[in-house]
Structure 1
Amino acid sequence: MLIVMAGLPAAGKSSIAEELARKLPAAVVSVDPVEAAMRRAGVDRGQPTGLAAYFVAEAVADGVLAVGQSVIIDAVNAVEAARQQWRALASRHQVPVAVIEVMCSDAQVHRRRLERRTRSIVGFEEPTWEAVQQRRTEYEPWTDHRLVLDSVGDLASNVTKAREYLALRSRPAARG
């Protein structure tokens, strides 16, 4: 199965993705560390590293799916082009795709999380709250069937909801 996480930076995607990966099990392919690695390798910040990181993540996920393992994509996935990339990957491997969109309904909590987070990804600069607000204006509405989780809720409850959703999506009738 291909599980696609989506949502603004610091909404709570990575926390849910990591806990899901432990429970399922599944590999997590996160775009931010890929982008940071590209920068550490000398790719200039002026280059389209964000787009390239999605392509690298796709190549890694392709390899994981090729050996019959599930993979979780941890990325903002704000635009239709990125979303189509994951649908096409799932189609190539003939596996179900499940989308989990994570949001934080409390702007103060969201901002506090962003400003306090320390992921220690060498070469990755965390976005400012202003940058997250700009991303919000660029975030295209989803048209796919998806589970929407509010990260104001506790992590355990959100992971339980996600696992229930994934169990339904993994059935053959739910593919696509």
Structure 2
Amino acid sequence: MLIVMAGLPAAGKSSVAEGLGRALPAAVVPVDPVEAAMWRAGVDRGQPTGLAAYLVAEAVADGVLALGQSAIIDAVNAVEAARRQWRTLAARHRVPVAFIEVVCSDSRVHRQRLERRSRGIVGFEEPTWQAVQKRRAEYEPWTDQRLVLDSIADLPSNVAKAQEYVVIAAQPPQAAP
């Protein structure tokens, strides 16, 4: 199946994705390291490297799904076009897609996480709090069913909830009697 994480930077989606990837197991395909690799390769930051990173992540996930394995996309997925990209990929492979949005309900904690985090992605600059707020304002409403997790809860509980959700989402629809 295809599992799509969503949420603002530093909300906690990567932590949930990694925990879920270990628990299932499933390949985690994060977009930020892909974009940083493009910059390290000399692609100008003025180019649409964010879009390109989503397309590279799609290609990687396409290969994983072609092997009959599950993939977890780790990206902000703030706009409908990105979400449609993942629905289309899942449909192409005839696998279920499950969306999981991670939020942080305490803006003080969210900001502290952002300002303290260092993920060690060479060449990747973490966004500022102002950039995260701008992204929040541009976040498009959801039309897909999704699980919403609040990262104020402990990580093991959120990973367990995510795992329960994807197990249910992976079940084929029941036929009407």
- Provide the residue aligned with 1:23 in structure 2: 23
- Aligned identity (percent) is 79
Aligned residues: 174
Give me the TM-score of the superposition, normalised by structure 1: 0.98
Q: Shift of the alpha carbon at 1:8?
A: 0.2
2:86 corresponds to: 86
Rounded Cα–Cα distance in structure 2 between residues aligned with 1:7 and 1:54: 15
Equivalences for residues 91-110 of structure 1 within 5 A? 91-110=91-110
1:141 shift after superposition: 1.1
Q: Which residue of 1 aligns with 2:62?
A: 62
Matched residue type, 1:27: A
- The whole-number CA distance in structure 2 between the counterparts of 1:151 and 1:74 is 15
Structure 1 residue 7 corresponds to structure 2 residue 7? yes
Matched, 1:120 2:120: yes
Q: Which amino acid aligns with 1:173?
A: P
Unaligned runs of 5+ in 1: none
- Structure 2 unmatched runs, 5+: none
After superposition, give the CA deviation of every residue in 1:106-126 in whole Å (9 maximum; x if it has no partner). 000000000000001001110
Cα distance between partner residues in 2 of 1:124 and 1:74 = 15
The runs of at least 4 aligned residues of structure 1 exceeding 2 Å deviation read none
Alignment RMSD: 0.7
Residues of 2 paired with 1:161 and 1:106: CA distance? 20
When the two structures are superposed, what TM-score results if normalisation uses the length of structure 2?
0.97
Equivalent residue, structure 2, for 1:170: 170
Aligned residue in 1 for 2:148: 148
1:75 partnered with 2:83: no
1:158 is matched with: 158
Distance 2:35 2:11 in 1: 19
Encode CA deviations 1:5-52: one digit per residue, 9 max, x unaligned: 000000000000000000000000000000000000000010000000
Counterpart residue type for residue 79 of structure 2: V
Please give the per-residue CA displacement for 1:111-158, whole angstroms capped at 9, x wherever unaligned.
Answer: 000000000100111000000000000000111000000000000110
In the aligned structure 1, how far is the partner of 2:11 from the partner of 2:142?
16
